[in-house]
Structure 1
Amino acid sequence: MTELLDLCYDVLIRILEEIDPEDVGRCAQTSHGFNDFIKQNTRLYKAQYLRNFDDPRRRPTDPEPAWIPELQRLVRCRKMLESANGDLKRDEFRFIASTLDTLIATGSTDSLGESHNQQLITKLFQPIYQNHGAFLCRSSLYDRCSKPSQKPADDEEDRQLSAKLLCLFGIPSGNVGNRVLSAHTYARSRVYDLRNYTDATAWGPFRDDGSMRVDWEMVESLMVVLCYNSGLCGRQFIHRFRPPWTQPLEGVLPARDRILPAYPPKLYAQPEIPLSLRDPYNVSGVWSRIVCFLDYNDLYQYNFNAEAMKVPADQPRDPIHTEEAIRHIVMDLKVTEVLAPSEFDNQALPVVKFTGTSRSVDLYGDPNANSKLRGSVRLTPDGEVRWRTISVFYGEERWRSEGIQVGGVRSQRGVIGTWFDKDMDPHGPAGPTAFWKICDTNELDSEGSEEVEVEEEDEEDGVWFLQEL
């Protein structure tokens, strides 16, 4: 009788490629011959990887990954997440969380919009409440609002990683989304605590050590507040005003056929090439924006009344139950310059500057929403995409914002950040904002929006176009 190992190489490989990776491991344990055939068979591991996960090579020029250890790592992570052993998951938090971060970073969608990585993560986290709590709800936000069994991670970097994973995963409807949104009063207390708006944080979602590393716990709180407020607004049912994080990994994974090649060095210095082709961030187009804010009297009292001033600098303020206002804005942006990165920027991509207009959707003639805009996009030292916008009224700056594009360059998840007074007044106002691209053209259908003209400025007031950020 012919044994399995007596089959020709190609037939045996085809058989092993069609079974689950876990079963391949079991086959390797049946005999020394099978073990020798499998353990160093790169072709088999590569085929298994590509059958179960997205191809981590974003471009044809990318080097081949180490297929054997990478597949073993992902299979081990998947088995742990499928386990009901909560102690194991807590002990292996860093391994599993970092593997998930890599899985998201290397994910992409095919021509049908499907992704192995997205399907796997959705399957393991949306219906499995234990996994969601063990890895996506371990930031300091849950230190005060969760059950005794739900504790934040002990290490600062682990808390930041957990918050980042939640920002990437999103806040879908259902039990897992409700769990996150139940922390909205505590998230609001962080967002409106003006002690978090300093020169060290650049008044944005950055850590307070001046390093310009993203403070993912702040981004998480901003997302929770914006998502909660959007859920109370009827415009959530109009597609262009629905925040793009209500489905798992929505907008985070790029379409494989739209991933750009590596940015050529010095491309930004080629004046004969159109600006739109030199812009790696895809800025030009129409963007939908939401802005939330507390009544200024409430904000001031929360931060500067007698009781508030007694709170130690390293302690959070009380949760905020006061309702906020929300505004919907449409921005029309156009690239004006593509420049070399400065010595303080990441050198991988250029700095892109833009101008444009913003108009209110909710209130005709809103003096705080209808304005000219200018801003810039650049990479932070650790490779995150940083957006800055400045609202200009009749040639004079009024509001600024700092934000991070969640998911990286050209991510459709959009930008989440903070807005504040142009003078960076420590007494405020300040609050959360987010914006995401809805189309590349300057055409909008009439659904859910009104045409709002921005008043023309005098020609002499147009000098803001040339001002440096």
Structure 2
Amino acid sequence: MDILDLPQEILGHILSYLHPATIVRFGQTCKHAHDFIGPRNQILWKSAFSHVFDDPNDAWSLMPGTSRAPNGTPVEWDWHWELVGRLRALQVIRSKWRVADEHDHLEKHLNAVLSMLDTAKFAPTARELANGKVPLEDDRYLSLNLQILSDLDRYRDGLENLIHDTGTPQCIKYSGSDGNPWNSPRYPVTRSMSFDEHEKHRPESASRLHVLYGLTVRERITHKARGAARRKVYDWHRVGPDNDYGPFKRDGSGHVDWSLLEGVCSVISRSFEMCVDGHIAMPQGLSFSIPHRSLIDPTTPTDWARVTGHWLGTYSFLDFADLFAYNTWHGDARPRLDDEPEACGDLMKLELKLDDTLSGDPRLHTSLPVCTDLPMLFFSGLSRAHVGVHRPAVGIRGCACLVPGGREVRWRFIISYGGEDQWQLEGIQPGGIRSGGVYGLWSQCDHDTNGPVGPFCYFPAELCKSTSVVLLA
């Protein structure tokens, strides 16, 4: 009996055990087989998809309220299209030479990688928990998506070229002999290339993937990349009351300004590395850019954001003369901020606890829309530097909530000295609930015209691997 004579349900069941590549080869045997495995056979391609990637329902079912896909898989989810798009993106990334040749499709590849990250399985399912599975801070081995994304560390050239070159008129063909793409003999852009002009053509997805991925080799080795990030972070005109002086879009929507947050992450990540001098590992990268990297304390089950506990972070700032000159310069030769000295603060340790008495605090209310799928959390605590036993702790209070859409978490911190509110910190946890860290902008609470501004970051202490640095209690 010919296999094609089998009932379609049985044939589909048999093929569902095969790898997608094998299914494609089966479809090349004859016209009938080709028609059978066509994109319309969603049941077959759903089975094929599950051989390679996580079932997105595992992630959606654990997302809060309306931020998850309603009633399971959304109608517009096409299993064949998603599978093919992801496999093509991975093929391009694994061959860094092809990134330039795929110029017209790079945004699709970016979205495919982000889709893998957004639908990665980040916690045990209800069935696994019922069978005694214990959730861990690092459950990446549960996720097929994370295993694939972790494997991309071997192909970081292709992934980083995808992040940086999407939206550029021309792309890097290959790196120089020293691995530095700026030294490539066929690099088609001069060293006087305007990063600001480049930014106008980069899609938001490129900035978002960069934030979730972390520092790249290219931005580490060029002063121009440092200057491009600083020009975003220290620009007074990018923040105001319509975005609460934080990394949000200036349209009153409350959505994340990924381009601005990209600059914040680039600047403060290097500052954090300088601050800890290699003694603490920053929880940065794709494996920390999904929810539930830190666990809920069973003694505070309402603390969905993992507010309670210790946080580690730092801040940085420009000399005010450089900041003022950059923002008030008139003419063509505006400072580039490539080499201006930038100061890094101490390694700060926060000790936070939930404090519902602050729910009426006007400093902790916002006019920007927020997602109400989970309740806003209010907290208070202390902030102190890890060095200097006798250095006083300062008071800190704040709130955490979901941004519109429910994926990212918004944080506000108010720092007080001597009972007077001094600094307002507006941050985003880009990886989602209880993910790697919070990045944002600090400014004065009274928001005086031409006041200081700079980036900051905080990370859950249990996600930072400490070695020789002693963190004082």
TM superposition score category, shorter chain reference: 0.7 to 0.9
Q: Is the Cα contact below 8 Å between 1:187 and 1:225 reproduced in 2? A: yes
Q: Is the Cα contact below 8 Å between 2:247 and 2:440 reproduced in 1? A: yes
Please say if 1:116 is aligned against 2:144.
yes
Task: Give the match for residue 204 of structure 1.
Answer: 246
Q: Is the Cα contact below 8 Å between 1:138 and 1:163 reproduced in 2? A: no
Please say if 1:438 is aligned against 2:461.
yes
Task: Give the match for residue 127 of structure 2.
Answer: none
How far apart in 1 are the matches of 2:166 and 2:472? 44
Unaligned runs of 5+ in 2: 63-69, 125-134, 172-180
Task: Give the match for residue 194 of structure 1.
Answer: 236
Task: Give the match for residue 244 of structure 1.
Answer: 283
Q: Are the structure 2 counterparts of residues 213 and 283 from structure 1 closer, same or farther at C-alpha, using a change threshold of 3 Å?
A: same
Q: Are the structure 2 counterparts of residues 188 and 365 from structure 1 closer, same or farther at C-alpha, using a change threshold of 3 Å?
A: farther
Shift of 1:318: 4.3
Please say if 1:393 is aligned against 2:420.
no
- 2:108 equivalent among 95, 103, 124: 95
Q: Are the structure 2 counterparts of residues 138 and 70 from structure 1 closer, same or farther at C-alpha, using a change threshold of 3 Å?
A: closer
Q: Are the structure 2 counterparts of residues 203 and 170 from structure 1 closer, same or farther at C-alpha, using a change threshold of 3 Å?
A: same
Task: Give the match for residue 47 of structure 1.
Answer: 47
Give the secondary-structure state (helix, strand or coil) at the position aligned to 1:250.
Answer: helix
Shift of 1:17: 4.2
Q: Are the structure 2 counterparts of residues 202 and 108 from structure 1 closer, same or farther at C-alpha, using a change threshold of 3 Å?
A: same
Give the secondary-structure state (helix, strand or coil) at the position aligned to 2:242.
Answer: coil
- Encode CA deviations 1:128-161: one digit per residue, 9 max, x unaligned: 5244223345489x99x97644997978584322
Q: Is the Cα contact below 8 Å between 1:54 and 1:117 reproduced in 2? A: yes
Q: Is the Cα contact below 8 Å between 1:108 and 1:255 reproduced in 2? A: no
- 1:229 equivalent among 240, 250, 271: 271
How far apart in 2 are the matches of 1:278 and 1:373? 21
Shift of 1:177: 6.3
- Encode CA deviations 1:316-366: one digit per residue, 9 max, x unaligned: 854343142232111011112297998832232222111111111134455
Q: Is the Cα contact below 8 Å between 2:295 and 2:306 reproduced in 1? A: no
Q: Is the Cα contact below 8 Å between 1:192 and 1:299 reproduced in 2? A: yes
Q: CA RMSD in A?
A: 4.0
AA in 2 matched with 1:200: D
How far apart in 2 are the matches of 1:108 and 1:438? 23
Task: Give the match for residue 299 of structure 1.
Answer: 323
Q: Are the structure 2 counterparts of residues 92 and 317 from structure 1 closer, same or farther at C-alpha, using a change threshold of 3 Å?
A: same
AA in 2 matched with 1:326: G
How far apart in 2 are the matches of 1:187 and 1:232? 17
- Encode CA deviations 1:426-465: one digit per residue, 9 max, x unaligned: 322221100011249xxx999623537xxxxxxxxxxxxx
AA in 2 matched with 1:348: D
Task: Give the match for residue 451 of structure 1.
Answer: 472
Give the secondary-structure state (helix, strand or coil) at the position aligned to 1:435.
Answer: strand
The 10-residue stretch of structure 1 (400-409 or 67-76) with the greater mean CA deviation from structure 2: 67-76
Q: Are the structure 2 counterparts of residues 194 and 36 from structure 1 closer, same or farther at C-alpha, using a change threshold of 3 Å?
A: closer
Task: Give the match for residue 376 of structure 2.
Answer: 351
- 1:337 equivalent among 341, 352, 356: 356
Alignment of 1:3-22 (within 5 A): 3-5=2-4, 16-17=15-16, 19-22=18-21
Task: Give the match for residue 458 of structure 1.
Answer: none
Task: Give the match for residue 71 of structure 1.
Answer: 83
Please say if 1:321 is aligned against 2:321.
no
AA in 2 matched with 1:47: S
- Encode CA deviations 1:158-209: one digit per residue, 9 max, x unaligned: 432211111011226xx45635886123312332233333223321112233
Give the secondary-structure state (helix, strand or coil) at the position aligned to 2:244.
Answer: coil
Task: Give the match for residue 215 of structure 1.
Answer: 257
- Encode CA deviations 1:238-267: one digit per residue, 9 max, x unaligned: 33xx3211xx403112459979xxxxxxxx
Give the secondary-structure state (helix, strand or coil) at the position aligned to 1:357.
Answer: strand
Q: Are the structure 2 counterparts of residues 47 and 121 from structure 1 closer, same or farther at C-alpha, using a change threshold of 3 Å?
A: same
How far apart in 2 are the matches of 1:297 and 1:203? 21
Q: Are the structure 2 counterparts of residues 372 and 255 from structure 1 closer, same or farther at C-alpha, using a change threshold of 3 Å?
A: closer
Q: Is the Cα contact below 8 Å between 2:412 and 2:425 reproduced in 1? A: yes
AA in 2 matched with 1:293: F
How far apart in 2 are the matches of 1:201 and 1:336? 25
Q: Are the structure 2 counterparts of residues 446 and 161 from structure 1 closer, same or farther at C-alpha, using a change threshold of 3 Å?
A: closer
How far apart in 2 are the matches of 1:72 and 1:420? 46
- 1:134 equivalent among 158, 162, 168: 162
Shift of 1:372: 0.8
TM-score by length of 2: 0.74
Q: Are the structure 2 counterparts of residues 68 and 159 from structure 1 closer, same or farther at C-alpha, using a change threshold of 3 Å?
A: closer
The 10-residue stretch of structure 1 (377-386 or 158-167) with the greater mean CA deviation from structure 2: 377-386
Shift of 1:303: 3.8
